[in-house]
Structure 1
Amino acid sequence: MLLLRRCRSLTRFGPLNTQRNPVAPAVASCAVRLWSSGGSEDQRSYRHAHGPRWRHALAGLLAGTGAVLAYGLHHHQADQSDSTSLQTIEKISTPPIFTQEEVNSHRSLEDGVWVTYKGGVYDITEFVAMHPGGEKILLAAGGALEPFWALYAVHNQEHVLEILSEYKVGELSAEDQKKQQTVKSSDPYSSDPVRHPALRINSLKPFNAEPPPEILSDSYITPSAIFFKRNHLPVPQVDPDSYQLRVEGLSEGVLMLSLKDLKTKFKKHTITATLQCAGNRRSEMNKVKQVKGLNWGIAAISNATWSGARLRDVLMDAGYYPDVSQWARHVQFEGLDKDVTGTTYGASIPLNKAISEDGDVLLAYEMNGEDLPADHGYPVRVIVPGTVGARNVKWLGKIIVSAEESHSHWQQNDYKGFSPGTDWDTVDFKSAPAIQELPIQSAITMPADGAVVDRSDEEVTIKGYAWSGGGREVVRVDVSVDGGKTWQVAQLRSSEKEQAPAPSPPPGQAWAWKLWEVTAPLPQEAQELEIVCKAVDNSYNMQPDTVSPIWNLRGVLSNAWHRVKVKVRED
């Protein structure tokens, strides 16, 4: 029966891709071979006793994303019936012993997928076959799990160790364990820069953090030290003297540019632009229903001045000409940050955005008038104003003009929006376009949710930010203190000067946010205020009033009316 259940699981979930196709016969037969006839009687007994009760959750451990880990935890609830008692496990006297050479031979679905961790050997074949993130998990096949664990330290937790233990099939030979111990593993995050203690940390490795909201709205230009940090991998150490940017895909062959070339061959341009993570305000979606990803508050957004060479000028220098657009559609970017397998962060943007004279896409080497900080892409990063932060690739190493989007995981299988009715059983990442421009957004930074105001003050001052993607200008912010029954229009601030609004930017080039403020009288006899804000841009796009209709399994594009509740304290 256990074998039958395993086969049904393979058929249900399908192999290695995000579409729910039936598993290939070869994979199914492989699973039968592995679980019925493969190995000795001791191996089969040990496998049975250590049946993969938590089979779906290991992907988070290997793939290193909260989304994939949570996917597994969701399915764990349906598979507890396969669990084997600890008493049964204790009856297994001696686990099978495997050599590293034997483990190395299991690196595919056909041959089985095995990994080692702290002397144990784990067979995750079935799990990889059924999981949409299987291709990334296969990167660890045949080798030690420790480097992946060091890279994705967020999963170094007791319950994940328990999950992994369910896949154990034996032990690594003592000789090979000694060999592994002689190889010193280093922490890939040991050279990460020091961060400001005011930041509110969402994950340490990789480092992801946001400033306190009340600090965020204190300055139109966000200081680099408290600008939100969004890293997917360890921060690379790049020597500016030997740095080379590779540009390819155009008629003149490959163009190599040093940092000095970027600074001297091309005119320096400066823009003020807001960057926002696709997961900003994800915590509000979590309150409706659990989503997958870092639990960002309202401050995964910041505003800075950026200086560098225009991407358009660099592409022209590399041989771009108008006929290129007959076959090319995208410009791909690859970062210098990489995981233990050498896989680098990547993304792409439409070609027409990259070459537009009004697109203002920069290869930036300065932030707020200084060299880029390490956390923000030193020595060069892409700034794609009006576009989701994920496309603003840091530590830029390569630019490719192409007919295709980037094949990166972060372009193809992440940062996409789906219907509220789509879940991890039905999601098909290929069915949704990658997020580029972001929708209209606003949030209240002061007062904080749960704050208290005195009745004797007679009024409350409310502050926040507003921004819209695609260069659309925010033209109005409406604020209510009674949950949306009545409204006031906030005063907008679009420059570093406290009260003076800057002239409107050219149409389609409103890259920076607007800070806003309003002072509202306290409603008589109200013991609690529900403060609400909503923004409107110059295309008259408006924020939805509630989260539920825009909820999605990745928790991205969260832009419903922002709400905080404040107590009124009587004298």
Structure 2
Amino acid sequence: MALWGKRSDMVVHEREPFNAEPPRGALGEEELTPLDTFYVRNHGPVPALDPAAWRLTVDGLVERPLELSLDALRERFEEAEVVATLQCAGNRRAGLADVRDIPGEDPWGPGATSTARWSGVRLADVLAAAGLLPQAAHIAFAAPDVSTIPDPPQPYGGSVPVAKACSAEVLLAWAMNGRPLPPVHGAPLRVVVPGWIGARSVKWLQRVTARREPSDAYFQATAYRLLPADADPAHAGPGDGISLGPIALNCDILRPGQQHTRLPAGPTEVVGYALAGDDRTVARVDVSLDGGLTWTQADLAPRPARWTWQLWRTTVELPPGEAEITVRAWDSTGATQPESPAHLWNPKGYANNSWARLRLVCG
């Protein structure tokens, strides 16, 4: 095992704060991602929290502010469960970095995406118990992990609109895949916001605040915003760019292998994932061996649950020499992915959902 109970072949982008993704092929094995394989995105050191002393504060625009222990959460509220895929907004950033350098950002591949069965209580039930007031428009989350990315350093925080926060799928989770939440994934309690970028699923949750405006925390107001290509992120201020929320339609190839893997020519099984954020679904996955001139449809597996990825597979006939597999997905609105990462490049490297390409050497 490597750091934090993860598999030894994780691609570690940083050790402190710990940021790592599984190798490309590891995600294609199962619909649920094992705990040792699930990607990790942190902005500061993992805080050491005592579950017995931990408390959750619920305040802001509510009639009855609450302070809840883990035991109180379990006793007062019905336990709920959701199977959901989380995806980092920087997933597939390496494809954008191939177009143009993205200084200071980790070169995530396609593995900053994972699926788990989450257990806890519905955030909506907790907000109802606190008496959420009608003027509340956003629910903010605060955690104790301090990041040195803002100047001065500050704890992590973010928010989602009230309509999303009160949806039945949004949980305050204490377990994943039937086991207690590991410290590196947010123990003792984290938010899980299915269909939205992973940055909104705040870990090590300590405070839930009902507000009129979105959170003013750095990672809501300044980071995780899509800046124009000519912007300088070092001078970006609160409110600049487009705030990222629902996950963009995306897909990638998980097998065979890494870029430039050498394989025998001939029939080869290709496996990957596709994901449509918010309330959209994946309708089709197309595969091409000629750069998109012609396409065939892959076999798309049913979704394990409403808020998850779908695995797809097909068999292609790889020619001798260099080959490139290209993949694109379509969603239930009829939208598809953009062809080139060059058209999506942005100075933070977010939201690369261009066609997936895997280059191989065959023969």
Q: Percent identity at matched positions?
A: 38
Aligned to 1:485: 293
Residues 505-550 of structure 1: CA deviation (Å, up to 9, x unaligned): 6xxxx31001111001235xx5221100111111122110001111
Structure having the higher strand fraction is 2
Shift of 1:464: 0.7
How far did residue 380 of structure 1 move? Answer: 0.5
Is 1:330–2:330 an aligned residue pair?
A: no
CA distance in 1 between partners of 2:85 and 2:249 (Å): 13
Partner of residue 243 from structure 1, selected from 54, 69, 75: 54
Counterpart residue number, 2:276? 468
Matched, 1:410 2:219: yes
| Structure 1 residue ranges (4+ consecutive) displaced by more than 4 angstroms after TM superposition | 339-342, 424-429
Q: Which residue of 1 aligns with 2:327?
A: 533
1:445 equivalent in alignment to 2:254: yes
2:170 corresponds to: 361
- What is the deviation of 1:252? 2.8
Q: Which amino acid aligns with 1:270?
A: E
1:352 is aligned to 2:163: yes
On the 8 A contact 1:483/1:529 being kept in 2, the answer is: no
- Structure 2 counterpart SS, 1:438: coil
TM-score (norm 2): 0.93
What is the Cα deviation at residue 335 of structure 1? 0.9
The structure whose residues are more often helix, as a share, is 1
Distance 2:293 2:167 in 1: 43
Is 1:264 aligned to 2:75, yes or no?
Answer: yes
Q: Structure 1: which amino acid aligns with 2:334?
A: Y
Q: Name which of 314, 330, 344 aligns with 1:550.
A: 344
> For residues 244 and 454 of structure 1, do their structure 2 counterparts lie closer, same or farther at Cα, with a shift above 3 Å needed?
same
Q: Give the whole-Å Cα distance in 2 for the aligned partners of 1:294 and 1:427.
A: 19
CA distance in 2 between partners of 1:538 and 1:410 (Å) = 30
In the other structure, the counterpart of 2:355 is 561
Deviates more, 1:560-569 or 1:194-203: 194-203
Distance 2:341 2:211 in 1: 37
C-alpha distance in 1 between matches for 2:145 and 2:243: 21
Gap change, CA 1:548 and 1:196, over 3 Å in 2: same
The match for 1:454 is 264
- Alignment check: 8 A CA contact 1:468 1:513 kept: yes
Out of 187, 195, 214, the position equivalent to 2:25 is: 214
Structure number with greater CO (CA < 8 Å, separation at least 6) is 2
Give the corresponding residue for 1:430. Answer: 239
Cα offset, 1:199, TM superposition: 1.1
The equivalent position to 2:96 in structure 1, one of 285, 289, 312, is: 285
For residues 366-385 of structure 1, the aligned pairs below 5 Å read: 366-385=175-194
Equivalent position amino acid for 1:512 in 2? T
| Number of positions where the alignment pairs a residue of Structure 1 with one of Structure 2 | 356
Structure 2 residue 63 is matched with structure 1 residue 252: yes
Alignment match, 1:396: 205
Aligned-residue CA RMSD (Å) = 1.9
Deviation, structure 1 residue 385: 0.4
1:478-504 CA distance string (max 9 Å, x none):
111222122111112236xxxxxx5xx
**CA distance in 2 between partners of 1:432 and 1:401 (Å):** 24
CA distance in 1, matches of 2:233, 2:78: 47
Q: In 2, are the aligned partners of 1:419 and 1:550 still within 8 Å (CA)? A: no
> CA offset at residue 415 of structure 1?
0.7
Q: 1:346 to 1:454 in 2, by over 3 A?
A: same
**Matches of 1:339 and 1:301, distance apart in 2:** 22
Following the alignment from structure 1 to structure 2, what is the Cα–Cα distance between the partners of residues 380 and 544? 37
Query: Once the 2 structures are TM-superposed, how far is the Cα of residue 226 of structure 1 from its aligned partner?
Result: 1.2
User: 2:127 is matched with which residue: 312, 315, 339?
Assistant: 315
Matches within 5 A, 1:130-141: none
Aligned-partner residue type, residue 193 of structure 2? V
Residue by residue over 1:203-260, the C-alpha shift from the partner in whole angstroms, topping out at 9 and shown as x without a partner, is 1110000000101111110011110011111111111112110000244332011101
Contact 2:110 2:252 in 1 (8 A): yes
Considering only CA atoms, is the larger Rg found in Structure 1 or Structure 2?
1
CA distance in 1, matches of 2:27, 2:126: 34
**Match for residue 386 of structure 1?**
195
Distance 2:193 2:160 in 1: 8
Q: Normalising to structure 1: TM-score of the pair?
A: 0.60
**What displacement does 1:564 show?**
1.2
Q: Which structure 1 residue ranges, 5 or more long, are not aligned? A: 1-191, 496-501
Report the counterpart of residue 23 of structure 1 in structure 2: none
Structure 2 residue runs without a partner (length 5+): none
